[in-house]
Amino acid sequence: MILRETLYADLARQYFFSGKGGKKTTTLGLMLAIFSPRFTPIVIFRLSHWCFQKKISLLAKILSMINFVIFGLEIAVRCEIGPGLYFPHTQGTVIGANKIGENATIYHNVTFGAREIDLDYSSSSRPDIGDNVIVGAGAKILGPIVIGNNVRVGANAVVVDSVPSGATVVGIPARIVKQV
């Protein structure tokens, strides 16, 4: 998927969550969605990831730093994230996953990353997140695990084991409380 299509999918999801989903898109509504503190950091990430893919590393790092300083959101430029990304809030969120699927909803103070210091960003020490996943505020997903599709991770859960598709997990360490 090219950058423009991915950004359009992100914007469509932003517009849906803003309460306008299903209604006719207006120019004002679209502009408000674009300049939202929930959407602008996604645009900055998409641009930094695009720069990383094009081997414009310095610009990728600069854009990533802008996201961190202004929005409190740290996303590794190497992280592959599918279209439809949505952040209800961004502060304190650290995304160091290997990849994240489509239509992810990630609340504030969430951490995806390695269990130990990994300065080389090895994909073998990072989580893979499926499609249509919702991660509650303060949750931590750590290590080389797989979070399946349609998973719900409760607020403040600490996930250190893989989670099958359709499950809801809560607690420290996280355990399955519901399986669809």
Q: What was the pLDDT predicted at 35?
A: 75
Q: What was the pLDDT predicted at 21?
A: 56
Q: What is the CATH number of domain 3-179?
A: 2.160.10.10
Q: Does residue 19 have a pLDDT over 80?
A: no
Q: What was the pLDDT predicted at 80?
A: 95
Backbone angles phi, psi at 79, to 5 degrees: -65, 125
Mean pLDDT along residues 106-111: 96
Domain map of the chain by residue range?
3-179
**pLDDT tens digits, one per residue of 53-81:** 999 999 999 999 999 999 999 999 999 99
Q: What was the pLDDT predicted at 28?
A: 73
Q: What was the pLDDT predicted at 58?
A: 96
pTM above 0.85, yes or no: yes
Q: Does residue 168 have a pLDDT over 60?
A: yes
